[in-house]
Every structure is written in C-alpha cells, then in structure tokens.
Amino acid sequence: MRLATARAFDPLRAPLADTDIACHRYARLTVRQDQQMLEWGYPFIIDDFHFHLTLTGGLS
C-alpha cells in the first residue's frame, strides 16, 4: 500500500534540485536511500520511513 501511495503522488512532485540532492547526500545515505531519493524525491520512504514532522522555523 505504501508503494502504491508513493506511485500515485509521484507525478505531483517537483523534480529535486541539485542542492537538495547534495543536502541529502551530506547526511550519508545508504545506497538504497540514495536510489530512493533519486527515484522518488525523498530518501526515507517505504521501509525507511519513520513518522516525523518537519518544522519550518523555531517555536516560540
């Protein structure tokens, strides 16, 4: 189901910029995570996904 969801939403995402790729690679991804980043736009999907919330700024 998770892969089906990723496939369904993939056409809606913007392509990764070179700076995004460099930023994720700086985090020392595994080979599988690097492949997922290039294919799906994000390295932590399917079995590598863990629920998290990304904040855009500090909380007061």
What does the pLDDT read at residue 33?
92
Is 57 a domain residue? no
Look at the alpha carbons of 52, 53, 57, 60 in this order and tell me if their dihedral is positive or negative.
negative
What does the pLDDT read at residue 31?
93
Q: How many domains does the chain have?
A: 1
Instruction: Render pLDDT for 14-54 as a digit per residue (tens, 0 to 9).
Output: 888 999 888 888 878 899 999 998 988 888 888 888 887 87
Is 19 a domain residue? yes
Whether the CB-CB separation of 2 and 48 falls below 8 Å is answered with: no
Is 54 a domain residue? no
Global confidence as pTM: 0.65
Domain that holds residue 27: 2-48
Whether the CB-CB separation of 36 and 46 falls below 8 Å is answered with: yes
What does the pLDDT read at residue 46?
84
CA distance 18 to 5: 25
